[in-house]
Every structure is written in structure tokens, then in C-alpha cells.
């Protein structure tokens, strides 16, 4: 049937009247497609907010390394809210985070801090450390400031905008610090061999975005190869999470709802490079 319709369209497309009908239907289809997409987004936003308040009435993280971290509202900047509140967000990194936090860090830097899940969570975990949080998005900066105030760490968290190599070198890091990065592909420009050598005594967790530049991971590895020990951690697919992750808050939900709650909406399997200094 589809092949017959395609043949009819090919034979009649040169007719001005038929062409105007085809063009009109295409425009209508585009309009209805956008409306349908907006409606889907609205339904999903409502599901997220309703589920957040139902499962986490005080909007506090329930599990994981940042258990007890409180959100000022049921909103997250550029990433999934429900996995963060549940405490399974980027759970692939939980063991690494717990391991690294045994070290004494004078400062923590979060590049691409969004609303502050890591920046404020780490400020709570390391009460003796100063936190420097960077994000280009003014809304993210405001959200991070609100979270810092709510969690009573505002005096130790410095929220700023752009972080380029000169800015990074200017941060007072002390003897040892932890630097996290999720900067959507800019990491291959920011973390050069010169930067790695400058920060040879500090530790890093860098999310690499090979979907932006397929050589990103290789470039970052090469930059740190001479100064740091490097480990690779890969993300777990959202469907696998729905099948395998077990939390008491999810016991009453079926697989489809668990998938909606747990998914982090990554377009592809991501990689984190964990670089620990060889000087420590």
C-alpha cells in the first residue's frame, strides 16, 4: 500500500494543485508534530513532579553518596530529576566517589555544575573543603545558589560562570583537590597536557562526550597519561537499569514506570575517566 501511495505522489507532484495540497499537509503534519511533542513533554513534566512529591515529599535524596541532600524545588537543570532524588543518578560512579572522598581535599571544583547535585552534595560530604561550581547557564547558577542556601553550605560554595584554562589555573586549590567535569565536549579543549601537568597533584573525574567529537576520550587520556593513573567507567543503559536496579521506593511500580523514573536519557553509552595523581 505504501509503495502505491508513493507512486501516486510521484506521478501527481508536478500538478500545481496537487503540490499545494502536499505542501499544506506537510506543514500541518509539522505543526501537529510540534504540538504532540509539547503535549508529551508537558505530560512527562507532570509525571516527574507528581512522582517526586509522592516518593520524596521533603525533596531529599534518598540513597547514594549524597543521601540527605535537599532540593529547593522539583526541578533539575539539563538532567533527570528523579534518579537524583532516588540517589541512583550516575550510580556507576558511587564507589569511585566514596573511595576518593576518603582523601583530604582542600578544594572541590565542579565544571558544569547544573543545579548543584554534585557541587552541594560534595560540600556536605567534605565540610572542610571549599567548593567552586561553574556553569554557563544563569538559571543553573541561581538553582545552585538556592540549593547551597537550603543545605547551609553557602559560605563554602563559590558559584561562577565560564571556566577556561586560565580560570582553572587561577583557582586556589591547596595541596590536593578533586576536579569534576561535565562540560558537554569542551573537556578536550580544557584539559590539555599542559593543564594535566599543572594539576599533576590533583584528582579528576571527567565525563567525556565522544558523541560531540569521537576523539574526545582519546585526547583526554593522552593529556593525563604522563601524570595520572587512569580508569574508565562506562554508563549503564536505561533499560538495564529498569530491569536490574532495586530500591524500596520502586516496589509498587511496574517495569514501564520504573524505566520512566530511573532513566537518565543519555543518547549513547557515556564514559567517565577517573584520573588520580601519581604524586599521592
Q: What's the DSSP call for residue 217?
A: H
Given this model, what pLDDT does residue 108 score? 97
Architecture of domain 61-277: 3-Layer(aba) Sandwich (3.40)
Q: How many residues does the chain have?
A: 280
Per-domain boundaries in the chain: 2-53, 61-277
Q: What is the pLDDT of residue 36?
A: 44
Are 63 and 250 spatial neighbours (Cβ–Cβ below 8 Å)? no
Q: Which residues of the chain have pLDDT under 50?
A: 2, 9, 28, 31-32, 35-39
The confidence score (pLDDT) of residue 216 equals 92
The reported pTM is 0.84
76 closest CA partner among 44, 116, 37: 116
Which residues is 179 bridged to in the sheet?
Answer: 109, 204
CB 173 within 8 A of CB 195: no
**What pLDDT, on the 0 to 100 scale, is given for residue 15?**
57
The residues, ordered by sequence, that sit 6+ positions from 13 with a Cβ below 8 Å of its Cβ are: 19, 22
Long-range pairs for 69-75: beta carbons < 8 A, 24 or more residues apart: 69/117, 69/120, 69/121, 69/124, 69/147, 69/151, 70/147, 70/150, 70/151, 71/115, 71/147, 71/150, 72/143, 72/146, 72/147, 72/149, 72/150, 73/146, 74/48, 74/49, 75/115, 75/143
Task: Name residues whose C-beta falls within 8 Å of residue 195's C-beta, 6 or more positions apart in sequence.
Answer: 165, 168, 169, 223
**Long-range contacts, 52-58 (Cβ 8 Å, 24+):** 52/81, 52/82, 52/85, 55/82, 55/85, 55/86, 55/249, 56/85, 56/86
pLDDT digits (tens, 9 = 90+) for 116-163: 999 999 999 999 999 999 999 999 999 999 999 999 999 999 999 999
Q: Return the bridge partners of 158, or none.
A: 132
Amino acid at each position: 500500500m505504501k509503495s502505491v501511495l508513493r507512486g501516486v505522489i510521484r506521478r501527481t507532484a508536478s500538478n500545481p494543485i496537487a503540490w499545494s495540497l502536499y505542501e499544506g499537509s506537510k506543514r500541518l503534519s509539522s505543526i501537529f508534530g510540534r504540538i504532540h511533542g509539547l503535549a508529551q513533554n508537558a505530560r512527562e513534566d507532570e509525571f516527574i513532579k507528581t512522582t517526586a512529591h509522592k516518593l520524596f515529599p521533603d525533596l531529599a535524596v534518598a540513597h547514594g553518596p549524597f543521601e540527605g541532600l535537599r532540593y529547593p524545588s522539583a526541578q533539575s537543570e539539563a538532567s533527570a530529576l528523579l534518579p537524583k532524588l532516588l540517589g541512583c543518578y550516575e550510580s556507576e560512579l558511587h564507589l569511585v566517589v566514596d573511595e576518593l572522598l576518603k582523601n583530604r581535599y582542600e578544594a572541590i571544583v565542579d565544571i558544569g555544575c547544573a543545579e548543584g547535585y554534585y557541587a552541594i552534595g560534595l560540600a556536605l560530604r567534605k565540610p572542610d573543603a571549599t567548593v567552586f561550581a561553574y556553569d554557563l547557564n544563569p538559571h543553573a547558577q541561581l538553582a545552585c545558589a538556592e540549593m547551597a542556601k537550603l543545605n547551609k553550605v553557602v559560605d563554602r560554595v563559590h558559584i561562577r560562570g565560564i571556566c577556561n584554562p586560565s580560570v582553572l589555573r587561577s583557582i586556589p586549590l591547596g595541596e590536593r583537590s578533586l576536579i569534576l567535569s561535565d562540560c558537554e565536549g569542551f573537556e578536550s579543549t580544557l584539559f590539555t597536557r599542559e593543564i594535566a601537568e599543572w594539576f599533576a597533584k590533583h584528582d579528576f573525574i571527567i565525563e567525556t562526550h565522544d558523541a560531540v567529537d569521537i576523539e574526545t576520550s582519546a585526547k583526554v587520556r593522552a593529556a593525563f597519561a604522563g601524570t595520572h593513573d587512569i580508569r574508565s567507567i562506562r554508563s549503564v543503559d536505561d533499560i538495564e537499569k529498569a530491569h536490574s536496579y532495586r530500591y524500596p521506593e520502586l516496589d509498587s511500580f511496574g517495569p514501564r514506570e520504573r524505566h520512566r523514573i530511573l532513566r537518565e536519557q543519555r543518547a549513547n553509552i557515556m564514559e567517565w575517566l577517573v584520573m588520580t595523581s601519581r604524586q599521592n
